[in-house]
Amino acid sequence: MGGMKRIGILTGGGDCPGLNAVIRAVAKTAITQYGATIVGVEDGFEGLVAGHKRELENPDVSGIINMGGTILGTSNRGDPWHFPVTGPAGSEIRDLSAQAMDHYRQWQLDCLVTVGGDGTMNISNRMASLGANVVGVPKTIDNDLAATDRTFGHDTAVAVATEAIDRLHTTASAHHRVMVIEVMGRYAGWIALTAGLAGGADIILIPEIPFTWEGVYRKVIERSRHGKRFSIVCVAEGAKCPDVGEIVKAYDTKRTDAKQLGGVGDVVARRVSEGTGLETRVTVLGHLLRGGSPTAFDRVLATRFGVLAAHLAGRGQYGFMAALHGAVVEPVPIADAIASLKVVTRDHELVQAARAVGTSFGDG
């Protein structure tokens, strides 16, 4: 970089293990190798609209690689084009993208590093169209962002879900129960599929593979007939029930995607109990999957993403997102990353592996 430059960084959307590792990597690389000033935008795009920021120096980002959450704060209600404003007439949604761009210019940012999932990358792409220099870093426990093999946070979420399944195995076996575990993932089944496979779940229910109640009952009853008096069902929050489809817990119009999924575990547990006569319990892992320290894999991946993002900003390579392809971290156009949602395919190798060891997806 020619001369002193200012790089902004924000973390958008839901929190995720590894965010602080990215902040650390971007700041340390940009400060030490490019002499840049780092401007931390507080609470994601909400802070960009409201004008909340603080400069980050080396001491601010030291000792945070193992910390969950984000030292900058985050928000999933800060879309500048869909921004909730409360006034005398109540709450309304307004387009405040011009205000966000005003702060970008007032703060004299040469580049904005945005860390987030598909929503954050979509906003980043729109900001680029208004003239902002943007570099993206992919983050989501759901692992549903296209153009990258993995997103940091996913490995940690899978590790937490797998441990939970391990623990539920013991009580399921002791009490001869069917245990239903509901995990996050929204419209993609990667967490349920991976954790279910790692934890030895007997049934995995995901949005991408339609299931029938009869298929679920059949697997549970078959295990019972063979002397296996318990079953583990791992269900993704976005799994579609045969008779009612997605289970939506609530709607939040302040968010771009207003649907709040949740509750499918209760539906599955009730139907399994009614259909098999077996005692059934449900555990919803929910935000437990987002919290705590990142795994070593996520710390390393987040650091690699952050270092590349700092180099892209330093070289003036804007409009790109860091991505993992095989063993290599490399830039891809942000537009490619948001072209489609990455979901589980029915012939995916993990699906085939699960079927090979006897796991049911409720479709057979």
Query: What tokens were used for 61?
Result: 């980002």
* Residue 148 CA: distances (Å) to CA of 81, 133, 305: 26, 21, 11
How far apart are the C-alpha atoms of 193 and 154, rounded to whole Å? 12
From 15, 79, 142, 155, active-site residue: 142
* Main-chain dihedrals φ then ψ at residue 108, nearest 5 degrees: 55, 45
- Count each helix (H run) and each strand (E run) in the chain, helices first: 11, 15
Q: CA-CA distance, 253 to 8, in Å (whole number)?
A: 28
Backbone angles phi, psi at 150, to 5 degrees: -140, 150
3-state secondary structure of 178: strand
Closest CA to 165 of 152, 182, 151: 182
CA pair distance 312, 324, nearest whole angstrom: 15
* Other C-beta atoms lying within 10 Å of the C-beta of residue 131: 9
Annotation says 144 is catalytic:
no
Long-range contacts of 330-335 (CB under 8 A, 24+ apart): 332/147, 332/148, 333/147, 334/121, 334/124, 334/125, 334/128, 334/134, 334/136, 335/125
Active site residues: 142
